[in-house]
Structure 1
Amino acid sequence: MRVALGVSYNGQGYQGWQSQPSGQTIQDKLEKALSTFVARDRVSTLCAGRTDAGVHALMQVVHFDTDCERTPYAWVRGTNANLPRDIAVQWAVPTTAEFHCRASAISRRYAYVLLESPIRPSVEAGRVGWSFRPLDLAAMRQAADMLLGEHDFTSFRASQCQALTPVKTLLDIGLHKHGAYWRMEFEANAFLHHMIRNIMGCLVQIGQGAKPPQWMAEVLAARDRRAAAPTFSPDGLYFLGPRYDAKWGMPDRTPAYDGLP
């Protein structure tokens, strides 16, 4: 039997999603919890989108194969009983071998939450990015629109990116301000390593007035990482989750989705 899980986590204390010798990753903690729950030596998981150190998730989707029969409620409660408090399974869906959390995804969604304030974050430290200068919404939206559609995103690609091609389709970018907080949402068929954080670096420079909106088009056309701004902080980046065809019966979001600023 194949089981899919929706997992949320605060990434501050972890070395990203992917398993490491240190054992201090989300995958390591989840697999340990699952293995304890089903009394197996090891349960191996795959995820919809690997996240870097310090990056959070509201609905990371994973799947694993098992011969253990449990109800969805039992998978959630039993796994959570063995997880640290900053990682939690939100839902479980028994599915078939045809479902693949990564290959079956139609698109992936991220949000970046940013505090605009002359004073650095305190209670939100590690959970929001920060701009100490005011940001111009109109300029940022004008720049963001230049990225929509299918493009070669080499200028926003980390040097260690393992994607087979830098060509991706950015489906939507939404920029919204709630008081002192910004929420910037990105949806694409797939993302390159550090792609959103590199786009954020450019958007913030444009929003602060250091660069004009048309600079974004110049960076994109350059197809050269050196043309873009420095990689922005991981602190405010959240993986909102993938989208799937309705036939798979996977939830579209968790309650926390609408709770971010």
Structure 2
Amino acid sequence: MRIVLVLEYDGSRYCGWQSQPEGCSIQDALETALSKIAKEAIRVITAGRTDAGVHALYQVVHFDTLAQRPISAWIRGVNALLPGDIAILWATEVSDEFHSRYSAVERRYIYLLLNQPVRPGVHGKKVGWYHQPLALEKMQAAGNILIGEHDFSSFRSAECQARSPIRTITQLNISRQGNLLIFDLRANAFLQHMVRNIIGCLVYIGKGKYSAEWMCELLVSCNRIYAAPTFSPAGLYLAGVKYDCGWCMPELGEVPIIPGLSIRN
């Protein structure tokens, strides 16, 4: 049978999603717990791999198993075996046609950026930080340029293994809550480091180093060397994976990230 899971995690102390020989990844922790419940080796397939230090509010995985277990075992049973910073939120049995990656039609990422003169302490691994004032209007104007289908070669990692750099961004909204800037991006898919590279470029524009039109130049250049450095992973959250309604996947509700801040659909 095929089981699909929705989970959340704090990626601060992990080497990313993908399994590593050292066993330091979120995938390693999840597969270890699932294998104990199933009493057989379990390998999971994810909707999207997150980098070291990146968090998830809504990550989707599926796996195949011969084990007959109640759904509660795949939630409460697995949670009892997982580290405290990883949790299964939802599970169900699905048909073999479902694929966590290839059935997905949209991904959503949230980036939280603290914009104040001094660095954070308590929430240092939950938010990005920039010390100089940032102009929200200029950043939003630049972000609007990226909406639509484009070649995002200027924003992909040199190690990115995607066959094509063409992606379609359907939403890039920037809002402010006090000293916190909230970047909300949706696309059919994202390239490796794409969101963090976009954030770095928007920060350059927000602090006045470039005009909003610089974003057009980056798109046309299709060359990573002209863009800003990759921004910190600390403030990045995988916040949603969308599927056709026929799969009956749950939606992300209101989720508190840090005191006083909730992320909504």
Q: What's the TM-score bracket when you normalise by the shorter of the two chains?
A: over 0.9
Q: Which residue of 1 aligns with 2:240?
A: 241
Q: Give yes or no for the alignment of 1:36 onto 2:39.
A: no
1:259 and 2:258 equivalent? Answer: no
- Give, as a single letter, the amino acid of the residue that structure 2 aligns with 1:227: Y
RMSD of aligned residue pairs (Cα, Å): 1.3
Q: Read off the aligned partner of 1:83 and give its amino acid letter.
A: L
TM-score normalised by length of structure 1:
0.97
Instruction: Specify the alignment match of 1:96 in structure 2.
Output: 95
For 2:71 and 2:183, locate their aligned partners in 1 and report how far apart those are by CA, in whole Å.
33
Please say if residues 59 and 254 of structure 1, whose CA atoms lie closer than 8 Å, have aligned partners that are also in contact: no
**1:73: how far off?**
2.6
- Asked if residue 117 in structure 1 is aligned to residue 121 in structure 2, the reply is no
Flag structure 1 segments of 5+ consecutive residues without an equivalent. Answer: none
State the shift of 1:254 in Å: 4.7
8 Å CA contact 2:114–2:181 kept in 1: the answer is yes
Query: What is the DSSP-based 3-state SS (H/G/I as helix, E as strand, rest coil) of the residue aligned with 2:204?
Result: helix
The correspondence of residues 10-21 of structure 1 with structure 2, limited to 5 A, is: 10-21=10-21
1:179 and 1:72 map into 2 onto residues whose CA distance is 41
Moved over 4 A (4+): none
* Matched residue type, 2:154: S
Q: CA deviation at 1:255?
A: 4.4
SS at 1:107 equivalent: strand
**Relative to structure 1, is the Cα distance of residues 259 and 69 closer, same or farther in structure 2, using a 3 angstrom cutoff?**
farther
* Aligned residue runs from structure 1 range 207-222, under 5 A: 207-222=206-221
Identity %: 50
Q: Which amino acid aligns with 1:7?
A: L
Residue identity opposite 2:262 in structure 1 = G
1:206 maps to what in 2?
205
In structure 2, stretches of 5+ residues that fail to align are none
Deviation at 1:140, TM superposition (A): 0.6
Q: Which residue of 2 aligns with 1:4?
A: 4
Q: How does 1:136-175 map to 2 (within 5 A)?
A: 136-175=135-174
TM-score normalised per structure 2: 0.95
Which amino acid is 2:26 matched to?
I
Aligned length, in residue pairs: 260
